[in-house]
Amino acid sequence: MSFHIKRAAICLWMVILLLLSGRVVASAQNIEPNKSSVDNSSTNQIFVHLKGETKASSMLSVASSLPDAEYAGGIPNTRTLIYKVDGDVEKAVEDVKKNGNVADASVVPYWYALDITLDDAYKDQLWALDSMNVRGSGDKAWNLFVDKTQLNDKTSAIKVAVFDSGVNGNHPDLAGKVVNSIICKGSEASGTYVVTCSQGGIDDGGHGTHVAGIIGAIPNNQGIAGIGWGTKIIAVKVLHEGGRGTLAEIMYGLNWVADHAQSDNIKIVNLSLGGSIYDSTIKQELQNVMDSLWSKGVVVVAAAGNSGDTGNPVFYPAAFRNVLSVASVDRNNNLAPYSEYNDPVKTDPPYVTDGHWIDVAAPGGSCSVSTKQDCILSTWNDSSKPCTEGVPDNTGSYCYMNGTSQASPYVAGLVALVWARNPSLSNADVVSIIQTTANHEAPKVGGNNATVFGAVNAFAAVNSALSAPTVTPGASTTPRPSSTVSPSPTGIRPPVTPSRTP
């Protein structure tokens, strides 16, 4: 008997009693697999899977098949043993597989902690992803997926309807993202004003392409990356000349999505638009559409509005029930000066009875031309309209903007990440997770909370997705009781027209 066999036999007899009594002692590193990646290189260890129970006879038999190996422990509650091989590990695997007590064997791979990193040209300017705990080392949302491929695969099953000015699907960062384009527009071509929704609709403003990039721009070694880059976009063009759309056009679009939500697997709606509504019937009909979308499992995310410094009025559709409303914060999680906020004196019964109609906050930026780095950088539709209402980059393909229009798609993208982590969650589950994991201490207004739940925390939300309690499907998780008829985009533009080369 060789030295290795003798040593192995002694060790085996010492641990067999523990194995048979259910007290196996194994030295194993506590590795979080959701932060790791399998590497093709191998260790000098092998797994050996026994056919039957871990009996002394079978373990001694395995040891005899591995004369150049040393027993290195076992995996608790399994029939898997670990051996450290002094020689050729591949040969050791083949040799031990011939043993009648062995079901299978393999080389133990290396696992590495993986931080999903970006190599896009503007990666260093995507501060919102850092502020929300999306990317970077350690406890970040992207690190909860095994690697880029898994993140892409998991989010690619999720479709987001972006209600806006359209989306330029030909932008390099949005290639393959737009799976459908719908335009909802009124026309008097037949002599009667009729609103219809049909296929088509280009982005003639740029705002929609900017929003879509925040949600799902792909990491492709250029430009930017969106928070949920695998998501697919359904562009619903409801904003037209001057960045405006009638409420009728928007309602038609919402009803189109409600009709197609289940057949087209639309899970999220982003509304970076809004206004006031004075018609109580229209208001109720819009609430009915929101309720219909909710009952079909859709999460509607809406910008809270940009009039926080000019009256702070109740803003729709953000104030409706079953809508996740989003205020804007700067890079320090302070409320952006333009952002709407909760105020007990601002009511609009029966939709807003206590002034608490804004749920969460997310990065929307707070900047000027001289501080463009504090804006939100995203894709721009340079082919039809230069980025003159924001701050253009030096190519014209990207634009710096700020507003609750930018905050809303960050939350829409977070919804996609939570769902990607656990597709079995209901819309009520997802919204509850995002609300309850938010930073309740920020942002503040005059010492009071500006939103009901606080600034979103992407890592905490995605990390909670697998252990979240089940919320009754269709139940409203928003603790609120929802008139300019031509809503406009909610993006705040810097006050000075910049040059083409900032």
Catalytic residue (choose from 65, 328, 397, 405): 405
Token pair of 242 as six digits: 């001057």
The pLDDT assigned to 287 comes to 95
**Is 80 exceeded by the pLDDT of residue 153?**
yes
Name the band, by pLDDT with cuts 50, 70 and 90, for residue 37: very low
- For residue 19, pLDDT over 80 is answered with no
The predicted model gives 179-203 an average pLDDT of 87
The candidate with the shortest Cα–Cα distance to 197, out of 184, 216, 212, 181, is 184
Catalytic member of 95, 120, 164, 393: 164
pLDDT band at 110 (very low <50, low <70, confident <90, very high): very low
pLDDT at 366: 86
Residue 350 preceded by cis peptide, ω within 30: yes
DSSP string computed for 362-411 = EE-----GGGGGGSEEEE--TTTS-S-SSEE-SSSSEEEEEEHHHHHHHH
Mean pLDDT (the chain) is 80
* Beta bridge partners of residue 83, listed in sequence order: 46, 71
Angle at 106 between CA 101 and CA 111, to 5 degrees: 140
User: How far is Cα 290 from Cα 42, in angstroms, rounded to an integer?
Assistant: 53
Tell me: the pLDDT tens digits for 286-328? 999 999 999 999 999 999 998 888 888 898 999 999 999 999 9
Q: d(Cα 71, Cα 93) in Å, to the nearest integer?
A: 14
Per-residue pLDDT at 498: 25
- The per-residue pLDDT for 81 is 82
Q: For residue range 222-233, what is the model confidence (pLDDT) as tens digits?
A: 889 999 999 999
pLDDT at 384: 62
User: Between 404-421 and 427-436, two packed helices, what is the crossing angle to 10 degrees?
Assistant: 120
**Cβ proximity of 367 and 331 under 8 Å:** no
Q: How far apart are CA 467 and CA 470, in angstroms?
A: 9
Query: Among 128, 125, 203, 134, which Cα is nearest to 165's?
Result: 203
pLDDT tier at 14, thresholds 50, 70, 90:
very low
User: Against a cut of 0.85, is the pTM above it?
Assistant: no
H/E segment holding residue 83: strand 80-85
405 is catalytic: yes
Q: Looking at the predicted structure, is the pLDDT value of residue 124 above 60?
A: yes
Q: What is the pLDDT of residue 174?
A: 95
pLDDT grade for 468, boundaries at 50, 70 and 90: low
Rounded Cα distance between 200 and 236, Å, is 9
Ordered domains of the chain (ranges, CATH): 3-113 (3.30.70.80), 123-169+181-186+193-489 (3.40.50.200)
Beta pairing partners, 380: none
115 is catalytic: no
Q: Which two tokens stand for residue 474?
A: 């269709």
Give the Cα separation of 502 and 488 in Å (integer): 27
Residue 319, pLDDT score: 96
Of the spans 17-31, 45-59, 166-180, which averages the highest pLDDT? 166-180
Mark whether 164 is an active-site residue. yes
pLDDT at residue 54 greater than cutoff 80: no
Tokens of 33: 């697999």
> pLDDT tens across 253-292, in order?
999 999 999 999 999 999 999 888 888 888 898 999 999 9
Tell me the pLDDT tens digit for each residue of 378-430. Answer: 999 876 677 766 677 767 788 888 899 999 999 999 999 999 999 999 999 99
Whole-angstrom distance, CA of residue 34 vs CA of residue 422: 13
Token couple for 75: 């995996």
Q: What is the pLDDT of residue 173?
A: 94
Of the residues 165, 203, 207, 330, only one is catalytic, namely 207
